[in-house]
Structure 1
């Protein structure tokens, strides 16, 4: 006889609850399930997670809410709950007593397979989405490194949602109050204002030329209604008990008589040793105080940094850490961001306070002379103001934030805390999609060193489809990637464009032999059925790569490559049959499937290469923008398609 006894002293901490092994196949050979005792402490929420197993909870003691994919059930001693495979679940114990259970789990492949079929990717995509990108710092133009980060990838997501008939709006802008603008202009004031305005116009034009369709473009303000709203939000921040005014030592250049922060100071990160400006290290993503940089020096004169005392408003981020953890646990966060956040939240000493105001002559004035709102606080409040306006004008939306990994601290820690204190947490992103850096020839893009390929030059030389495809194929997802100078000079040679041109222009030969009208289907073969099945399955696979939690433009482009290859192979294998007199009914189905494949390609490729996709869509007799069907209907029989005669590019 084998027995097990519930023993709190023998439990270990896992899944953010206490667990103790019970019985498994290790104890009883052939036992078809595993089991554990579990206990969720009072006022604790277990880790939200999913797995391929079926699972049953038998409640031994206590009362708690079991959550499964948004469905909530309050349970008590004696209740039994079944959890389906791949369903995200957690236990929320809001009582003063522990919640004790037995968990029994087993693997059933049919059950898991059926759960996957019922849990289709498209159902996870929002009906109404607001897709946000960090505003561009207008101290220069956009190079390919800039464009490759959030901007093209976010547009890909927006287009995909729109092609499904979902509402998706794109929000970005320029962050004029960043210190990099003032540094480039040689100081604040009229020169910096003029510089920002000049580059802002160029930036907007570049985004348009890259076929990035922005719906709301925000600009930092120092006057007018927007500035008044930002000041009002900041006044609410100052009312928080976590905000205090303190006199502290700050980095300072005596020669320039200037407070040093952000772009005005440089040195080495004390965490990773990489070159860094003040307040954030782009390499490791960790925050710093400018005076803490190793070998810190003034960027204006090159002199060594000294310190002096400044009175500023500071917010105690650590006092909000529990709410911050809860928010981040609910939000979709990619692995690189999650790793950084866990390191920051669990660091010895916790989160350091953040300075809300700066001493200088650039930015939104707040309070006494020479006091300005910190640029990142300004950015966060401008974000909240813009999303609030979007919600008021267009209704609630699921917010996805595409951002560079180097901005993670500001958007995943500072922004949420500020939203908490002004009671606008409902406007925060539910999903984060990060990117690392795209390098040129293995080194970081650098304007100062002239190590860059400007987006305008690339767009002028190749066009939007070619630039977008090159950047989406090499997107720095989860790691740093690189593009070579030679590759930027030959963007037309991308294999997807080359192979698609061969396949699509090849319809000219079909039209010459069988006529310009699309036939209706006739008799089907196994080959036809499997190709038709493939068109649906590849659509579902590509849908899965659009979910923010699993978003991958690189994976998406690879699947488009294979789609074109599969379509070309289908043509090769069908050509002989189409000329057999006794197989004319099968030939009609074969040709109808070819035209359907072209329609599917247009719908699936539009997020990546919109100009080509639209051209294919219209060539097939459709109107409007390409649509992304869930089940693809054939083109109406009799639809006339002209000889493409090279309209889809050259090889």
Structure 2
């Protein structure tokens, strides 16, 4: 259905990815997480005939933006806008087809919905004025939180910035950091009383438990929620005495700024409103709440507490009747050569540089194949070369080349006289398709599994073709023609199921089989009789011999 015709249709998969912070370039570790996952899930929904929108944004008001801008002596807004442009170019190059990606500094709808959200929370008594201790750096004369302070996590003792720990994903209140220091000047801060608006999370503990029990979550998120709910939940400041962010609308606190993680909740709603407006209109609340709709959120594990505890509780406080997300799906960290990606140490492979040398389909395949789903995984250029050169440019390209040669000049033969082995192979393809589609579902979401199923389809197709060699040796016949027709069913199935992971390759193969538009799932069956498997260039090529020197000179 064209977008203009479905603008008011409330049945929709609303797919969100935690917005990237515009304070630097994207490396492969960034791409392997929620941005790729949300794109794959959105495409998988469309593949199977469902409507879906992919929403993200630009996390402008993270304190990491002004910290970096001040360190570099540049205007933070100009710096953030430049990085947001770079991120948009990377998304386009790799094929992340976002439907809305608002920028807070430019988007009045975003700012208005954030202000309204906070005002409603306050009017309903969900925000409480509270005077409590905070950290202050005397040399900088600055209130310290988030990017401005670091110390030992009070929960896991790992190095942590203020307000949340990247390692265990649990929140802190800064004053409970072990041996905190100012990240700007290195001074040990003092404690001072600060009056802020806080959000008492413990009020929502029972409702959160009930919500978690009915919600699809990654296993590590289930463990995080159980750990946090086993103890009293903290009070979270939702306003901070700082100069960066959206001003609080609450009287007595208008000189403070809304906590950026509270801003993100109405930010997702504003992004949905923007996506619907681009389609010709529609009420975001009607779509969000529609029984036929779903809300699926993707984010890194370091953002786990925000999406599983804080965000649902804020939505409960905003309106007890509003829909809460149906699925919360996360990933772990992708490492580089068994070490963490590090911008400061130059230990990174930048997305834009790799995409300058390697087609997007190959990059997407490798990142999905080894995606860090339940634990960290490592990206190495040796492994990347094996996956691309041996698997894609080797096995996949060789099979598709040979299949094109086997299709007669008259085109794909009809499937008139299949042998029992042909029927078994078609049944195997159908079983593999079920596995792959299950790996694209929210409940079983696993790009690693889906990608390995794609590899298995090609492996089994190659083995099937080898097993038909004696049949072909006797010359053309109805049964040898049936074998070719059955083999095109494998190619067609591959094009369909590869589309969420490798859209560019999938569309090329789909069109080479004589199909039009984007791949759509309609079951396992051969290409239409009479069609040729045509192509103007190889689907895959080996990686450049000097790739390592080009993208990883260190």
Normalising by structure 2, what TM-score? Answer: 0.89
Aligned counterparts of 2:405 and 2:113: Cα–Cα separation in 1:
62
Compared with structure 1, are the counterparts of its residues 406 and 598 closer, same or farther at alpha carbon in structure 2 (3 Å cutoff)? same
Aligned counterparts of 2:295 and 2:73: Cα–Cα separation in 1:
35
Compared with structure 1, are the counterparts of its residues 370 and 626 closer, same or farther at alpha carbon in structure 2 (3 Å cutoff)? same
Query: 2:520 maps to which residue?
Result: 627
Residue 225 of structure 1 and its aligned partner are, at CA, apart by 4.0
Query: 1:523 maps to which residue?
Result: 417
Compared with structure 1, are the counterparts of its residues 408 and 172 closer, same or farther at alpha carbon in structure 2 (3 Å cutoff)? same
Query: 1:477 maps to which residue?
Result: 373
Structure 2 counterpart of 1:428, from 317, 324, 330: 324
Query: 1:164 maps to which residue?
Result: 48
Aligned residue-pair number: 519
Residue 325 of structure 1 and its aligned partner are, at CA, apart by 1.5
Residue 647 of structure 1 and its aligned partner are, at CA, apart by 2.2
Q: Which one has the bigger strand percentage?
A: 1
Residue 220 of structure 1 and its aligned partner are, at CA, apart by 2.2
- Please give the residue correspondences for 1:329-408 in structure 2 after superposition, counting only pairs within 5 Å: 329-347=213-231, 350-367=232-249, 368=253, 370-387=255-272, 390=276, 392=283, 395=287, 396=290, 397-408=293-304
Query: 1:105 maps to which residue?
Result: none
Structure 1 or 2, whichever has the larger Rg, is 1
Aligned counterparts of 1:232 and 1:508: Cα–Cα separation in 2:
59
Aligned counterparts of 2:248 and 2:467: Cα–Cα separation in 1:
71
**Secondary structure of the residue that 1:218 maps to in structure 2?**
coil
Compared with structure 1, are the counterparts of its residues 382 and 412 closer, same or farther at alpha carbon in structure 2 (3 Å cutoff)? same
After superposing the two structures, state which structure 1 stretch, 208-217 or 603-612, moved more.
603-612
- Match status 1:291 vs 2:183: no
Aligned counterparts of 1:536 and 1:450: Cα–Cα separation in 2:
46
Structure 2 counterpart of 1:191, from 67, 75, 81: 75
**Secondary structure of the residue that 1:297 maps to in structure 2?**
strand
CA RMSD, 1 decimal:
2.2
Gaps of 5+ in 2: 1-9, 277-281, 543-554
CA offsets, 1:418-459, max 9 Å, x none? 111111653431001110100111111111111111111111
**Secondary structure of the residue that 1:173 maps to in structure 2?**
coil
Compared with structure 1, are the counterparts of its residues 360 and 489 closer, same or farther at alpha carbon in structure 2 (3 Å cutoff)? farther
**Secondary structure of the residue that 2:193 maps to in structure 1?**
strand
Compared with structure 1, are the counterparts of its residues 610 and 224 closer, same or farther at alpha carbon in structure 2 (3 Å cutoff)? closer
Residue 525 of structure 1 and its aligned partner are, at CA, apart by 1.3
Asked whether the 8 Å contact 1:222–1:363 carries over to 2, the reply is no
- Match status 1:229 vs 2:84: no
Aligned counterparts of 1:268 and 1:137: Cα–Cα separation in 2:
23
Asked whether the 8 Å contact 2:486–2:525 carries over to 1, the reply is no
Query: 1:595 maps to which residue?
Result: 488
Aligned counterparts of 1:187 and 1:246: Cα–Cα separation in 2:
32
Asked whether the 8 Å contact 2:100–2:272 carries over to 1, the reply is no
Query: 1:410 maps to which residue?
Result: 306
Normalising by structure 1, what TM-score? Answer: 0.76
**Secondary structure of the residue that 1:295 maps to in structure 2?**
strand
CA offsets, 1:58-92, max 9 Å, x none? xxxxxxxxxxxxxxxxxxxxxxxxxxxxxxxxxxx
Asked whether the 8 Å contact 1:242–1:319 carries over to 2, the reply is no
Aligned counterparts of 1:226 and 1:544: Cα–Cα separation in 2:
35
Residue 634 of structure 1 and its aligned partner are, at CA, apart by 2.9
Higher RCO structure, 1 or 2 (CA under 8 Å, sep 6+): 2
Query: 1:467 maps to which residue?
Result: 363
Query: 2:546 maps to which residue?
Result: none
- Match status 1:606 vs 2:499: yes
- Match status 1:500 vs 2:396: yes
Residue 182 of structure 1 and its aligned partner are, at CA, apart by 1.1
**Secondary structure of the residue that 1:521 maps to in structure 2?**
coil
